[in-house]
């Protein structure tokens, strides 16, 4: 997928996940979550080149200063990732985020170890993490799960879970709570996308 197509997909996804969005131009100009993701893509590409690791960290820190969202350049992030009201979001170096995930403000995908190993969470496709939630350590959250606001997750959870509480406990999503993964076909590249 080309750069312009990826940007259009990001904008379309943001618009579909934020009922307050009034135009694509507003999203491009005023959505700090999207700006942080775009900066991360640049920093992540740099991070993969050994001699560019320090400049990659500089790019991520400049983005943090501008957006209030800190994404380590080593984090792996899938397509159609959206951060809504992103202030205070922190995503650690070994975090892995699947496609169609969404985070709200104050979320931490943090580590619990000082070892040079996988120490941050893995979110499956379609995971939503509520405001203020902390997902800590090398835990895995299964696809289409939801983490409640202010939950503290320290154990892995299967797909289709709802995680709430401190420490968070998981339960199966009910049919009323079930939200299927977003169909990528809904992101056809419409030439009128920037209107």
pLDDT tens digits for 92-104?
Answer: 999 999 999 999 9
Residue 119 lies in a domain: yes
Over residues 58-75, mean pLDDT:
97
Neighbouring-strand partners of residue 172: 161
pLDDT of 21 reads: 85
Number of domains comprising the chain: 1
User: How do residues 11-37 score in pLDDT, each as one tens digit?
Assistant: 988 888 888 888 889 999 999 999 999
In a domain, 135, yes or no: yes
Q: Which CB contacts under 8 angstroms, 24+ apart, belong to 87-92?
A: 87/32, 89/33, 89/36, 91/120, 92/119, 92/120
pLDDT over 70 at 45, yes or no: yes
Domain coverage including residue 135: 3-172
Domain annotation covers residue 155 = yes
* H-state helical runs in 48-157: 53-67
Q: From CA 143, how far away is CA 25, in angstroms rounded?
A: 31
Residue 41 makes CB contacts below 8 A (sequence gap 6+) with 77
Where helices occur in 21-180 by DSSP H, the ranges are 24-30, 32-47, 53-67
What is the predicted pLDDT for the residue at 49? 95
Domain at 50, CATH number: 2.160.10.10
Is 174 or 96 the better-scoring residue by pLDDT? 96
Look at residue 187 and tell me if it is in a domain: no
Domain-embedded: residue 178: no
């Amino acid at each position: 997928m080309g750069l312009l197509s990826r940007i259009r997909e990001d904008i379309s996804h943001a618009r579909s996940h934020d009922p307050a969005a009034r135009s694509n131009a507003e999203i491009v100009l005023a959505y700090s979550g999207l700006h942080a993701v775009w900066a991360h893509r640049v920093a992540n590409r740099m991070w993969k080149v050994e001699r560019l690791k320090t400049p990659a960290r500089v790019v991520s820190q400049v983005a943090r200063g501008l957006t209030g969202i800190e994404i380590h350049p080593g984090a792996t992030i899938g397509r159609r990732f959206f951060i809504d009201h992103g202030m205070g979001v922190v995503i650690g170096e070994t975090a892995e985020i699947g496609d169609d995930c969404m985070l709200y403000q104050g979320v931490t995908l943090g580590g619990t170890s000082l070892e040079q190993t996988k120490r941050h969470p893995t979110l499956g496709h379609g995971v939503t993490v509520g405001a203020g939630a902390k997902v800590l350590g090398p835990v895995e959250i299964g696809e289409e799960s939801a983490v409640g606001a202010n939950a503290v997750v320290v154990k892995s959870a299967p797909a289709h879970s709802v995680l709430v509480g401190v420490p968070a406990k998981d339960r199966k999503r009910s049919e009323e709570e079930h939200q299927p993964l977003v169909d990528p076909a809904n992101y056809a590249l419409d030439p009128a996308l920037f209107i």
